[in-house]
Amino acid sequence: MEKRRVVITGMGVVTPLGNSVADFWKAMLESRSAAGPITKFDAANHTTKFACETKNLTTENIIEPKELKRIDEYAQFALVAAHEAIQDSGLELDKEDLERIGVLVGSGVGGIKSFEDEHRKLLEAGPRRVSPFFIPLMIIDIASGHISIKYNLKGPNYSVVSACATASHAIGDAYKTIQRGDADAMVTGGAEAAICPMGIAGFNSMKALSTRNDDPQRASRPFDKNRDGFVMGDGGGIVILEELEHARKRGAKIYAEMRGIGFTADAHHITAPAPGGEGAVRAIRLCLKDGGLNPDDVQYINAHGTSTPYNDKSETDAIKAVFGNQAYKLNVSSTKSMMGHLLGAAGSVELIASVLAINHGIIPPTINYEEPDPECDLNYTPNKPIERKVYAAVSNTFGFGGHNAVLAVSAFK
């Protein structure tokens, strides 16, 4: 049986670099860093005092003012990004079979800020002061639920959670849902809002975050010899996936074609990658095989590239293991260098960056790349974007727990 082809027809973002796809892309082409002092809480006593915060979010005409207090920030990000993506797609929902359109949006930690706030109420004022909206504020599936309710979408609706691989797993699942015929279109991606006292303290305690407090804009430096940890970001990314013939019948513009997914487990350690990136190697190979792609079909890899010592080396090793000599002909970049690590939202926003690279023929850079690491010796597109025709791109995401999710997209033919 021939696989149904799946294409991307809409995209939306909420990021530290901008709250629209156009602003997000412009900021990346300007090699801009979104890092700065934390403003969402008093971080004076925290080891890391900076992050990449999403700011100036407009929810007008998307979320009713009275509903804002009942929706955690991470789900607000998802709703705003979904609004842009659906509008961008040109889907006229009043003309669609809404039972054939689903929602699959994930988050790494969900409503952690709501959990923190309500727990404080419990300790200070007792259990009766905990909000009746606490559970729906916090749970990870609620972003999918809100999007489904707002747009009356009645197809498959759920969430996945796999730490920093969450959004890529969600998009991969949505892709396969359409491919096997269970839906004609899916609203899919990830959202995260973990810049809060517990979020920063937790990652600090495991020594995962950069502590370059004197120079936050140069703190995220993937693949650079002097990298010292990742920079926390927040936001959301949503794509509209559609079965090709469904998109063609309504005359949709097509940004790119989904080509393949590769999901594996390291089965090694709760946080550290497997030696040599062994799990990542298998995920990239499975992704290329699923998409019918050869290594030399790929020009660009949007790397997981967290700016942590172990991840960047193991990912470099994995790319070299899969692509061989071709690895040195690729452009690799980590857009986390500019917007920070969006945790469970990273995979969706980075896939959108990959699609934009295909559409514009421009590779976004890895900024703050100053001193090469002998163990990381690929072309990381240092500091400035470059023009290059991109036929196919691979987006890597790897999560705590040994979760590996790799997506491939190509120009539509």
Residues acting as catalytic residues: 164, 304, 341
SS3 237: strand
- Chain-centroid distance of CA 133 in Å reads 27
SS3 255: coil
SS3 206: coil
Rounded CA-CA distance 407/38 in Å is: 32
Token couple for 132: 């009746």
- Which one-letter DSSP state was computed for residue 334? -
230 and 307 in contact (C-beta within 8 Å)? Answer: yes
Residue type, 20: S
Residue type, 141: D
Our CA dihedral for 6, 7, 10, 16, rounded to 10 degrees, sits at: 90
SS3 156: coil
Q: Are strands 298-302 and 392-399 parallel, antiparallel or unpaired?
A: parallel
347 and 11 in contact (C-beta within 8 Å)? Answer: no
